[in-house]
Amino acid sequence: MHLHLTSPPTSSSTACSPQNSASGRVGAGTSSPATTRRRRTHHINHPPTYLASSGGMKPYRSGAALAQPRIERRSGSSSPYKQDVDALFCEPFLGTTWLLPSGWSFPLGHLRDYDIGSKESLGNMLKANVISVGADGNASWSDGGDRRPPFVYLHLEGGYDFHDKLFYCDEHQRLLHGAPWLLMKTDSYLVPGLFLVPSFQDELGRMFPEKDMAFYHLGRYLFHPVNDVWRAVTSYYRANLAGAGQRVGIQIRVFRKKQTPLQHVLDQVLSCVRREKLLPEITSSSKINASDQAVLVTSLSSWYYERIREEYGGGRVAGGVHQPSHEGRQKRGDTSHDRRALSEMYLLSTCDVLVTTGFSTFGYVAQGLGGIRPWIMPSTPMWSESDTADTKVVPEPPCVRAMSVEPCSHSPSYYDCTARRDVDVGKVVPYVRHCEDVSWGIKIANQSS
């Protein structure tokens, strides 16, 4: 059975019924993945998200959108990328919208045009001495605030530079607190960095007593898929996964296809599930003694699914091996493709056991929504100059257990604003550690993990 999605609706008002909107939990009152599975005590690879906020709370990227505390609260809106936000998600808040109006008639309609070189950015204002930092460490407007700009642009994409990263310093946060509008562009999960800002730590601690559940709570509170997406999730779940005693999700993402043999990736997957005893060992002499499991495979390629089905099909796992779709390649800006991807993230989040590919934000979202500590398979990212995949040797170990359900922040700031030097940000506080799959990245972990 393939995942079926109809054409996107013409407006979000027709795409969201009450159970999917801000009036209730996703799938509330229905027999669905959200209500049938036992919950645990949690770059669609994302294009840039553009956010604007006005008035202390500055909403940031996706799940981080409610995670920067301020005593005064700001209102916030998101500028949809290629107009697909409202084709994916319902409005999370009753009686208001989180989407900025489109078109040049709106003052912030050109938000996408801002980039690292924009003079309105925090980094470039610091370079041009529009903002200065005194000997006492406090930031201020160089003209005393008489000509304070109407907004400050925060460039927080992966390629942001030293001055942009000063966003994470308390003295600059105090200054930004007085800015009428903040515009932000980011493709990263920012919450781990916010936990390193001293003035935020107390309030973030009250918001998230279990710090390593931040994405889980924010994701389930904010993200309410439109009807077509949720219908695809629930129908596929009921037809293929609901009857299994245990659901095993396998998320495969290959970043360097030309350098990475298919068999190499498959060998790593099978080595992981066998080593960790996630699926039964199969030998030529094995008697078929079906395990009460169902296997869900998500990949752009059907080749892995077919090989895994050959290995574990034929009654070896009672619930069968399933793949909702195989698109062949990532189709950026294609709303139908994004809707299928979102559906498969939610399907993975219904699994009891999860194996994911390192560096993959697709896997991060699935584990975060499901509250699942996955087994992560090391992988070589597309930008790496390493050709370790060419050795055709399965990594040892083939996978490692994640320390928490939190996503990894790939582009943190290493600058200690008080010490005025770079530090090992994975050792500043006990609950922010380096990621298992990205050695320079950081993630939130339980203090005892």
pLDDT tens per residue across span 407-449: 999 999 999 998 889 999 999 999 999 999 999 999 999 865 4
How far is the C-alpha of 11 from the C-alpha of 45, rounded, in Å? 24
First to last CA, the chain: 39
| Contact indicator for 347, 233 with CB cutoff of 8 Å | yes
Rounded to an integer, what is the distance from CA 280 to the centroid of its chain?
A: 31
- Break the chain into its structural domains and give their ranges: 16-201, 227-444
Name the residue with higher pLDDT: 366 or 74: 366
Secondary structure class of 53 (helix, strand, coil): strand
**Cα dihedral sign, 259-265-271-272:** positive
User: 186-241: per-residue pLDDT in tens?
Assistant: 888 999 999 999 999 999 999 999 999 999 999 998 899 999 999 999 999 999 99
Tokens of 23: 């009036």
How far is the CA of 29 from the CAs of 20, 36, 291, in angstroms? 10, 11, 31
H helices within 143-255, ranges in order?
162-165, 170-176, 191-194, 198-207, 214-222, 227-240
The closest alpha carbon to 140, from 166, 113, 171, 117, belongs to 171
Q: Contact 152/179 with Cβ under 8 angstroms?
A: yes
State the pLDDT at residue 353: 97
Give the torsion sign (CA, 247, 219, 252, 44).
positive
Let me know if domain 227-444 sits in CATH 3.40.50.11350. Answer: yes
Give yes or no for residue 134 having a pLDDT over 90.
no
Segment 280-283 long-range contacts (CB within 8 Å, at least 24 positions apart) = 280/312, 280/316, 280/317, 282/311, 282/312, 282/316
Helix (H) or strand (E) holding 311: helix 303-312
Grade residue 132 by pLDDT with cuts at 50, 70 and 90.
confident
pLDDT of residue 37: 33
Q: How confident is the model at residue 151 (pLDDT cuts 50, 70, 90)?
A: confident
Closest to 436 (Cα-Cα) out of 393, 384, 373, 389: 373
Alpha-carbon distance 309 to 319, whole Å? 11
CB 418 within 8 Å of CB 189 = no
Pairing of strands 131-133, 139-141: antiparallel
pLDDT at 51: 58
Q: How many residues does the chain have?
A: 449
325 has a pLDDT exceeding 90: no
Per-residue pLDDT reduced to its tens digit, 356-398: 999 999 999 999 999 999 999 998 765 555 555 445 678 899 9
Q: Comparing 133-137, 157-161, 194-198, which segment has the lowest mean pLDDT?
A: 133-137
- Read off the pLDDT of residues 24-58 as tens digits, 9 standing for 90 and up: 333 333 334 543 333 333 333 344 555 555 433 33
Is the separation of the CB atoms in 406 and 400 below 8 Å?
no
Amino acid at 434: H
Average pLDDT (66-87) is 56
CB atoms closer than 10 angstroms to residue 411: 20
The two tokens of residue 345 are 């993230």
Whole-number pLDDT of residue 251: 97
Overall pTM > 0.95: no
Q: Which is nearest to 406 in space by CA: 376, 373, 448, 447?
A: 373
State the Cα–Cα distance between residues 294 and 320, nearest whole angstrom: 5
Q: What percent of the chain has pLDDT over 90?
A: 49
Mean pLDDT, rounded, for 315-332: 84
To the nearest whole number, what is the mean pLDDT of the chain? 80
The conformation of residue 409, written as its DSSP 8-state character, comes to: B
pLDDT value of residue 169? 93
pLDDT at 116: 92
The dihedral of CA 63, 69, 71, 77: what is its sign? negative
Alpha helices, DSSP H only, in 63-165? 85-88, 122-127, 162-165
Q: How confident is the model at residue 327 (pLDDT cuts 50, 70, 90)?
A: confident
Q: Which residues pair with 164 in a beta bridge?
A: none
With residue 306 as reference, give the H or E element that holds it: helix 303-312
Least confident of 136-150, 258-272, 421-435: 136-150
Q: What is the DSSP letter of 63?
A: G
Tokens representing residue 445 in the block:
């972990």
Phi-psi group of 137: left, alpha or beta (phi > 0 → left; psi -120 to 50 → alpha; rest → beta)? left
- pLDDT average, residue stretch 93-122: 81
d(CA 214, CA 374) in angstroms, rounded, equals 16
